[in-house]
Homo-oligomer: A and B are copies of this chain.
Amino acid sequence: MGLPQGYTFRKLQVSDYSNNYIETLKVLTTVGEVSQARFEELFAHWDSLPQLYQPHVITNEQGVVVATGMLLVEKKMIHECGLVGHIEDIAIATSEQGKKLGYTMITNLTQIAEAAGCYKVILDCSTHNIGFYEKCGYTNGGTQMVKRA
């Protein structure tokens, strides 16, 4: 979907711990100390629930992770036991911005969610990113409210 030559969109692999996955996430927010053991524990948890947690990455021509994105598929009672896709934790390595990796990540995760039968896909963003998500086919759906512990 328009990725630069040699770039690949794929599922997260356990070997990505030492392949720039954590460093890429740090572009988004605080990650803190995540040891290889903790990474592997969480990876195994996600991997045990493959329909629910669908973590993806984009790698560059060296095979290094340069973008991250999670698709979380929630099973609801409403809409005849419908599925809703939640897109979470999109991060693009600073040195790789301007290559439309974010667009590819969002549109690919959206296609996966729709192919899985999700009746809608949702995500939360800052006001200054609304235009970007509109280009990805999204519309304003309301307000995110948050309470921090």
Contacts and interface: CB of A to CB of B under 8 A. Distances in A.
B143 A127 contact: yes
A13 B122 CA distance: 28
A124 B121 contact: no
Given A144-B142, A147-B120, A88 B74 contact: yes
Interface residues of A, number: 61
Given A32-B80, A77-B25, A80-B34, A125 B148 contact: no
Contact of A145 (B22, B42, B52, B133): B133
Nearest to A119: B149
A18 interface: no
Contacts of A138: 145-147
Nearest to A80: B32
Interface in A110-149: 110, 114, 118-127, 130, 133-134, 136-149
16 contacts: A31-B78, A32-B79, A34-B81, A45-B75, A72-B74, A74-B86, A86-B86, A110-B147, A122-B146, A125-B142, A126-B143, A127-B143, A139-B146, A140-B143, A140-B145, A142-B143
